[in-house]
Structure 1
Amino acid sequence: MTTPTSDPWQVLRAATRARVALGRAGDALPTARELEFRAAHAAAKDAVHAPFEPGLVREALGGADVLCVASAAPDRTTYLQRPDLGRRLADGTTFPPPGDGVDLAVVVADGLSPLAVHRHAAPTVTALLARLPGWVVAPVVLASQARVALGDEVGAALGARAVVVLVGERPGLSAADSLGVYLTWDPRPGRADSERNCVSNVRPPHGTGYEAAAVTVAALLNAARELGASGVALKDEGPALGA
C-alpha cells in the first residue's frame, strides 16, 4: 500500500527496463532522463557500427575449429543499405567438402550488433553443444556483414540437416547487446522466415540466460529432427516440447 508521499510509478519502473514514468520538468523531460536517453541512443548506434572481431569469438570458444566467411556486402555501409547482400555469401566462398551425416551447422553472424556476438555468442554455443550428445556438428562458421538467411547457404554448403544462426539483434534503447538464435531445418537458399524458430534477447542477466536458451534450442532441434520441419510447423511449448 502506498503512502501519499510515495512514488506511485516506482512499482512499474522496477518491473521493466522500458522507458516509462520518466517524469517531467515543465513541458520537457527532466535533465537526467534526457541524458539517459541520449546515452542509450548513442550505445545503440555504436553497437550497430562496431567492427566484428572473429578472433574474439574464436578465443572465447577455446580455440575450437572455426571457418571464417563474409557476405556479399563489401562493407558496413553497404550492409546496412542492402539487406539482400547480407543474406548471400561473397562470390568465391568455398567450404571443405561436406562430410557424411552432418547433423548441424552453427553460424555466428555479426548482424546488427557485433557487440552482442562478442559478449554472448561463445557461451551460448558452448551451452548448446553440451546438450546435443550424438549430434555431428560441423566447424563453427564466423560470418561478417551477415544476416540470418546467410545460414541457409552455409548449412547447404556444409551438407547439414539443420542450421543454427546466432546473430546480433537490432539494438534498442534498452538493449544494445541482444543476441538472437535462429533454427532452420533442412537449410537451403530461399527458405522463408516462417520456416525458422527463434529464441531472442539472449543477454543475461537482463534477458534470456545462456543455459535457458540452450535448453530451448536443443529441444527444438530434437523435435525438428523428429518432425522433419521447423518454423510454423514446430511449436515451442515450453517444458512440453522435450517431453
Structure 2
Amino acid sequence: MSDHEALEGAVAAWVLGALDTGEAEAMRVHVEGCASCSQAAARFRAAAAALPLEVDEIAPPARLRERVLVAAAAARSSTLPSAPARKKTVPVNGRWKPAATIQVGRLYAAAAAATVLLALLVGLVAGALVGRNSVTPAPPQVARFTLVGHGPLTGARGTVIDLKNDGVTLVDFKGLPALAKGKVYEVWLITPGGRPEAAAVFVPDSNGGKVVLVSRPLSGFAQMAVTTEDGPDGATAPTQPPQLYGALA
C-alpha cells in the first residue's frame, strides 16, 4: 500500500478526531494539498453533520451492537508492519491469478475502523428516517457468513460481516493455530470461476483470534478462503489448497 493510500484511508479518522496530534497535523497538511482526499474529507464531514438530525426514538437493530464491537476490535487489534513488496510464487493451478498486496498498518486499521463506525452511525440515523417516513423497508445493509476450518485448521472459524453500503468487510477469526516463524495467514476472495484475489494478510493473537479488515466489497465473489503463506506479505497466488473457507451466499 502506498503512503497516499494509507493517508486516504485515514481521512475518516481525521474528520472524527480519532488521530493523535502528530498524525492529525500530517493529515491536515496532506488534505490541503490533495484534491481527492479533500473531497473525501468533505464527504465524511457531510455524513458526520447528519448525525445530530432529530429522529423519533427507536430501538436499535439487534445486530448494531455486534457491528460496533467488531469494528472497535479492529481498531484495537495489532497489525503487520509495512514491508517490501511481496515475492512472486507459483500458483497451485491455472485458475489462481496473482493479485496485488493489501497491507493494513496501524494508522490504516484505526482509520478503517473509524470509517466503519461513522458509517454505522449514519446508517442508523438514515434507517430511523426511512422507518419514520416510508412504509417500504430499507434493503439489508449487512450480510453475515461463516468460514469453517478443515484438516490442520479444524476447530478454527471465521465470522464474515459484510457491510455492503460501506464497501468493506470485517472477518472475526477464532481458534486459529499459532503460525511457524516467518509465516502469515492470507485471506483470499474467490470468484465463481475459481480465480482467487488476495484480500489481506495477518497474524493471530496468542489466543488464535484476530479481527481482519477486508477493504473491498464482496460482490462478485463466491467464496472466502485462508491459506498459510510466507511472511510478511504473503503470496501473489495461493501456494496450497485452503483449509479454512466458506461460501459468501
Q: Give the TM bin, normalised by the shorter chain.
A: under 0.3
Q: TM-score scaled by structure 2? A: 0.25
Task: Look at both structures and tell me which one has the larger radius of gyration over its CA atoms.
Answer: 1
Higher strand proportion (structure 1 or 2)? 2
Q: TM-score scaled by structure 1? A: 0.26
